[in-house]
Structure 1
Amino acid sequence: MEINSENLANNELISEVVVVIVPLQAQGHLNQFLQFACLISSYGLSVYYVGLANYNHQAKVRANALKPSDIAKIHFHDLPSGRGEIPTFWDACTLLRDPIASFVRDISSKSRRVVVVHDPLMSYNVQVVSSLPNAESYMFNCVSAFSSYSMIGLFVRLSVQHEEFLKKLPSLEGIMTDEARNFSVSQIPHMNIRSGDIHNTSKVIEGKYLDLLAEVEIYQNKKQWAIGPILPTKLDHISNRNNICLEWLNKQPRNSVLYISFGTTTSFSDREIKELARGLEQSKQKFIWVLRDADRGDIFTGEARRVELPEGFEERVKEVGLVVREWAPQPEILAHSSTGGFLSHCGWNSCIESITMGVPIAAWPMDSDQPSNSFLVTEILKIGLIVREWEKHEELVRASTIENVVRTLMRSKEGDAIRQRAEELGEAVRRSTEKGGASRMELDSFIAHITR
């Protein structure tokens, strides 16, 4: 979605409306909420991004595809943690209710209206909204509509038609820990105060599943807006051209490079790394591999595990592959004309970026919403191939399997057909964010609603 301030930027009522952004304190959520914050700010609204100091800093340091000048317009409010050390991920989800309430009360005393946009898993922390006459809240969903619907379908009895549909899905057993499941369920009673829901997806991608989701009880009688993709769709202006990945891509043929990244929550064992390295080497396809261990707490403290590759691997593949161990500009890599495929864990950030840029996906889900996202990509949208079926998620993926999937995606007629579908869908999605497009109209509708 292109940042655009036309029409509404000069509306005097906007200066009286303040938006408070409350993300879950995890990278995949921090990123989407910052993109959303910049998009909303472009309409002339005052936007506050609220979180613990180290996570706010993390969001800024890892901001992808956003111009520094747009990030500079966001007011970052650092919350006190209430103790000397930074909480763990789950602690951060439960300890912020009082400082958030204090901040929202203060802002509400100075504004005509306060609009709190929060992660579903931060619902407990924003309950102060119900006690303030000039405040309202909206949930911003960082997962696909299909994934939301699928996971709700595991716990809510739906109509026969919908149950038949869900039977096509692989079992979602084991997608999250008991702790994560219990925490998610604990947030549901606190979701009722919201006035509506925002989705980082497009009707072009998930119109059917947005409609089905609207029929589910917890979404009924709530306003819905599908405004995605919220990331910038035109990246020529990004000053990242001296990045090693982009410099390397500039020297490669069109659609020749496979991009490999498994997000910020996945750690591979040494054995898994060895099989992946062998599979890539045997495929003889060009690649960029972002090789990093999962985030653990505060990314600015302590030493991250250095993932070791097989001896001599980087030397042997130096003519065809690039291994990167630092943060990479993923949207820019996916938007590059030399990138022809994405080997991904299928987190929604990665999926929506890949879909928007028209890049087909080799899907290798690891947990949470990733198995349902991979089903959406491979079985429904048909813009990808599965690397490992979710039912076999505890099995080691062999080099031969990786080699076969990579070759099929990058160098076969089947892969070419998948790529063409991905490119056509990407073009339609990008058009939806332009003036008159479905997503742009939804965004304009949301802005008009909160500035009424």
Structure 2
Amino acid sequence: MGSISNHKNHHDTNLMDKSDQVVVLMVPFQAQGHLNQLLQLSCLVSSYGLPVHYVGSAIHNRQAKARANGLNANDVAKIHFHDIPTPPFDSPPPNPNSSNKFPEQLQPAWEAMLNLRKPIACYLQETSKNARRVIVVHDPMMALAVQDVNTIPNAESYAFNCISAFSQVSLVWESLGKQVPIEHQKLPIFMECIPEKLLEFVALQSEPSSYRAGDLYNTCRLIEAPYLDLLEKEEINGNRKSWAIGPILPAKLSSERQHKCLEWLDKHGPKSVIYVSFGTTTSLSDKEIKELASGLEQSKVKFIWNAVERLMVSEEGDEIRKRAEELAATVRQATQEGGASRLELDSFIDHITR
């Protein structure tokens, strides 16, 4: 979302006078995609002059800092990282033969987070003694760990949803056993790619999640309005407030020095490099890796690129490019000063510092 430093210059100065009375605690789910988004949000909220505490296990706090994406080191340095003691847990190797490629090796670490409720509650209690209000922004997967915020008079919690509103609708409606009420939309079956143990972990968050005061979404209404409207229905969200404040990834990278991968890409001609990504936690078997490597080697890149090129020079390709350009323009508009997402973020800050 634009330049983080810009937020300081465009918000009501009255907020800055009282910001030291409101403390924000970020409690991320301990997986990289979640850690990174909460750290990005931490820097955004901090840019309004609010003290922000990032709460997690020591190993995951280190991971969040070491793998921070697109953030200025000076902005990250302003965040207070608080290490919560975590009981020992198994760390099995990835299973490359898993049928669904889900990173089940992380399950023991996630289950260990069920023991974080007491230390987080103690930290909340101590923090609340020196603040007019404590705001807890947590991943929905951490609702059980932060549920004691409900017992602290000057504290309230908000869920930050890392996945798209599109995916959130699919997940919520599946859990309710309902069909998504949007015509001509064939949403994928979300539950089918999640192991049973993780579904049980998610189910444990259900009741504690009802204690939250509102929801934050890492998306913008200009793109996902139909799905946000569904999520904001009273039967789903009650009377809680919600804000679509994304995309929160800075539109401009903070460092002037390019990553070595980008420098390497700059040395190659257009349409000469294939990008293959399976995420940061997916495991492949040796056989699968060999097959992929063999295919790429035998293609000499040209065969695979030609297949893409034929699509992109077609009418369908023209439409894809057009939609991509429109989407990029929409995102830039939403995150600029006065844009929809920027205004919703301002509204959220006003709300928690009221």
Normalised by the shorter chain, which TM-score bucket?
0.7 to 0.9
- 2:211 matches 1:208: no
Q: CA RMSD in A?
A: 2.5
1:330-373 CA-to-partner distances (Å, cap 9, x unmatched) read: xxxxxxxxxxxxxxxxxxxxxxxxxxxxxxxxxxxxxxxxxxxx
Q: Which has the higher helix share?
A: 2
1:5 is paired with a residue whose SS is helix
| Corresponding residue number in structure 1 for 2:181 | 162
TM-score (normalised: structure 1): 0.68
1:175 alignment counterpart: 193
- Report what 1:191 is aligned to: 209
Where do 1:90-169 residues align within 5 Å?
Answer: 90-158=110-178, 162=181, 168-169=186-187
Q: Distance in 2 between matches of 1:200 and 1:177?
A: 25
- C-alpha contact 1:202 1:228 (8 A) present in aligned 2: yes
Higher relative contact order (CA 8 A, sep 6+): 2
Cα offset, 1:164, TM superposition: 5.6
Letter in structure 2 aligned against 1:128: D
Amino acid at match of 2:77: A
Partner of 1:270: 286
Alpha-carbon distance in 1 for matches of 2:212, 2:260: 44
Task: Give the CA deviation at 1:92.
Answer: 3.2
CA distance in 2, matches of 1:94, 1:161: 31
1:443: which partner in 2? 345
AA of the residue aligned to 1:276: L
Q: Secondary structure at the match of 2:243?
A: strand
Provide closer, same or farther for how the CA distance between residues 411 and 251 of structure 1 changes in structure 2, counting only shifts above 3 A: farther
Task: From 310, 313, 317, give the equivalent of 1:415.
Answer: 317
Q: Distance in 1 between matches of 2:229 and 2:191?
A: 25
Task: For residue 77 of structure 1, give the secondary structure of its aligned residue in structure 2.
Answer: strand
1:19 aligns with 2:37: no
The equivalent residue for 1:330 is none
Shift of residue 197, structure 1, vs aligned partner:
0.1
**SS, match of residue 11 in structure 1:** helix
One-letter code of the match for 1:63?
A: A
Q: Which shifted more, 24-33 or 91-100?
A: 91-100
Find the aligned partners of 2:81 and 2:280 in 1 and give their Cα distance: 22
Tell me how many residue pairs correspond in the alignment: 334
Q: CA 1:418–1:54 in 2, change beyond 3 Å: closer, same or farther?
A: same
C-alpha distance in 2 between matches for 1:428 and 1:255: 26
- Whole-Å Cα distance in 1 between the matches of residues 187 and 89 of structure 2? 45
Does 2:72 match 1:67? yes
Output the CA distance in 2 between the equivalents of 1:255 and 1:428: 26
Alpha-carbon distance in structure 1 between the residues aligned to 2:317 and 2:117: 49
Task: Report deviation, 1:172.
Answer: 4.1
Matches of 1:238 and 1:142 in 2, distance apart? 25
TM-score, normalised by the number of residues in structure 2: 0.86
CA contact (8 A) 1:136 1:195 kept: yes
Aligned-residue offset at 1:91: 2.5
SS at match of 1:230: coil
Q: Select which of 217, 224, 236 maps to 1:218.
A: 236
Q: Identity across aligned pairs (percent)? A: 53
More strand by share: 1
How far the C-alpha of 1:171 sits from its partner, in A, is 3.9
Change over 3 Å in CA distance of 1:133–1:408 after alignment to 2: farther
Tell me how far apart the structure 1 counterparts of residues 244 and 182 of structure 2 sit (CA, whole Å): 24
Give the 3 Å change call, closer, same or farther, for CA 19–171 of structure 1 in structure 2: closer
Contact kept? 1:27, 1:59, Cα under 8 Å: yes
Contact kept in structure 2, 1:283 and 1:404, CA below 8 Å: no
Q: Structure 1 residues 177, 216: CA separation in 2 closer, same or farther (over 3 Å shift)?
A: farther
Counterpart CA distance in 2 for 1:201 and 1:423 is: 17
Counterpart AA for 2:147: Q
The 5-angstrom pairing of residues 270-309 of structure 1 reads: 270-281=286-297, 284-285=300-301
CA distance in 1, matches of 2:240, 2:327: 29
| Superposed displacement of residue 150, structure 1 | 0.7
Deviation at 1:127, TM superposition (A): 1.3
Separation in 2 of the partners of 1:261 and 1:283? 18
SS of the aligned residue for 1:228 comes to: coil
SS of the equivalent of 1:19 reads: strand
Aligned match of 1:365: none
Q: Which amino acid aligns with 2:255?
A: I
Determine if contact 1:283/1:407 at 8 Å carries over to the other structure.
no
Work out whether residues 97 and 125 of structure 1, in 8 Å CA contact, stay in contact via their aligned partners in 2: yes
**Retained in 2: the 8 A contact 1:19–1:117?**
yes
Mark the runs of 5 or more structure 1 residues left unpaired by the alignment. 287-399
> What is the SS of the residue equivalent to 1:421?
helix
The 2-side partners of 1:272 and 1:102 are apart by 47
- DSSP-derived class of the 2:275 partner: strand
For residue 212 of structure 1, report the CA deviation from its aligned partner: 1.2
Contact 1:145/1:201 (<8 A) preserved: yes
User: Are 1:48 and 2:64 matched, yes or no?
Assistant: no
Rounded Cα–Cα distance in structure 2 between residues aligned with 1:120 and 1:109:
26
Question: How far apart are residue 262 of structure 1 and its match?
Answer: 1.8
**255, 259, 269: which one aligns with 1:238:** 255
Q: Distance in 1 between matches of 2:180 and 2:26?
A: 37
CA distance in 2, matches of 1:65, 1:135: 31
What is the Cα deviation at residue 34 of structure 1? 0.4
The reply on whether 1:249 has 2:274 as its aligned counterpart is no
**Within 1, Cα distance between the matches of 2:32 and 2:240?**
28
Structure 2 residue runs of 5 or longer lacking an equivalent are 92-106
